[in-house]
Amino acid sequence: MSEQKKIESTDLLPIQENGKTYWRSLEHIAQTEEFQEFVHREFPAGASELTDPVTRRSFLVTSLGAGFALAVQPVMAQTAIRTDDAGLLAGEVKVPVKDGEMVAYRALPKGAVRPPVVLVVSEIFGAHEHIQDICRRLAKLGYCAIAPELFARQGDPRQFSNVQDILTKITGKTPDAQVMSDLDATVAWAASKGADTDRLAITGFCWGGRITWLYCAHNPQVKAGVAWYGRLVGEVNEITPRHPINIAADLKAPVLGLYGGLDTGIPLETVEKMEMALKDGSKAARLSQIHVYDNAPHAFHADYRPSFRKEEAEDGWKRMQAWFKKIDKA
């Protein structure tokens, strides 16, 4: 039994006055020590439902579960890769963030001592089975791979049956500033668990590809980033105040961009503009590279979807591994 005082104490019982029984007023209850402790515990200073869109009570996703997002089903079972967790410490973890705890998927080799860290940023579908599998693949390579559920406050994209609803109700309401803060918290958590965040990399897919570019301009700890078909331009607003094209000059870590020449959502002209911006950017920007697979569509690495292209996906994975070796040389 918790030793915390309960609100249902004798201070809240009816009172007798002039031979009559009265329930205590809300004003009287509000002055009791028990109620004051309750308010302090449940609504800590700085957490306001009215003035702060992010509060300790606003996490809608507290567990990842298993399986793929509804919007991508039926899954292409004949190509979907399933990586086992033999030899790994893999599963859900809770990452402390400024307003509560954020669920994440973490995988690393059992017994690893100060393994390098790779942040894995999901597509619009959240940290579902495909992203968890990517974490296990990276763990098999010796990394501590962590995929935070960055949509935890806005909702669970895995439960939506169509992409448009995810775009309008989840990703369209997830501020870049919140994402940067959550990734910072994930790095801090990894360090607290013994991982080597001096050897820090990040990779992301689709929505996460865009975030990869942004985070490599945000956090000077990052040594390398790999962005898989992340959008480079877009509408500027309070949710997305800057895009990769705007931050090329600020890159603090070199990024390898992997794009599809047949991607209808990311025109090649925007890729070419990004290449030009990188040439005029920071040292890390000038060290960045973009590789275009001429015959690949969007999401060519997503082995559970019809867009999967085995040859390009495997080549991209090899390029990513080579790129991540920069974390040992930086």
How does DSSP assign 101-132, residue by residue? EEEEEEEEETT-SS-EEEEEE--TT-S-HHHH
Q: Which residues contact 128 (CB under 8 A, 6 or more apart)?
A: 64, 67, 68, 69, 122, 158
Q: Strand 20-22 vs strand 15-17: parallel, antiparallel, or unpaired? A: antiparallel
CA–CA separation, 179 vs 259, rounded Å? Answer: 23
Q: With 70 as the cut, is the pLDDT of residue 107 above it?
A: yes
Mean pLDDT of the chain: 85
Specify the pLDDT at position 161: 77
pLDDT value of residue 46: 42
- The residue that leads in pLDDT, 76 or 178, is 178
Model confidence band, residue 3 (pLDDT cutoffs 50, 70, 90): very low
Claim: this prediction has a pTM higher than 0.75: yes
Task: Work out the pLDDT band at 174, boundaries 50, 70, 90.
Answer: very high
pLDDT at site 5: 40
Type of residue numbered 312: E
* Sheet-wide strand order for 255-260: 88-97, 100-109, 144-148, 116-121, 196-205, 222-228, 255-260, 289-293
Residue 204: closest CA among 137, 322, 123: 123
Active site residues: 206, 263, 298
Which domains occur in the chain, in start order? 10-40 (no CATH), 60-328 (3.40.50.1820)
Residue 58: half-sphere exposure toward Cβ, Cα within 13 Å: 16
DSSP string, 164-202: HHHHHHTGGG--HHHHHHHHHHHHHHHHHTT-EEEEEEE
Q: Which residue has the higher pLDDT, 249 or 32?
A: 249
What's the helix, strand, coil split of the chain in %, to 5?
35, 20, 45
Residue 155 pLDDT level (bands cut at 50, 70, 90): confident
Q: How many CA atoms lie within 13 A of 266 on its CB side?
A: 30
Q: Is the pLDDT of residue 299 over 60?
A: yes
| CA–CA distance, 224 with 285 (Å, rounded to integer) | 11
Report the pLDDT averaged over residues 189-196: 97
Tell me, what's the pLDDT at 21?
54
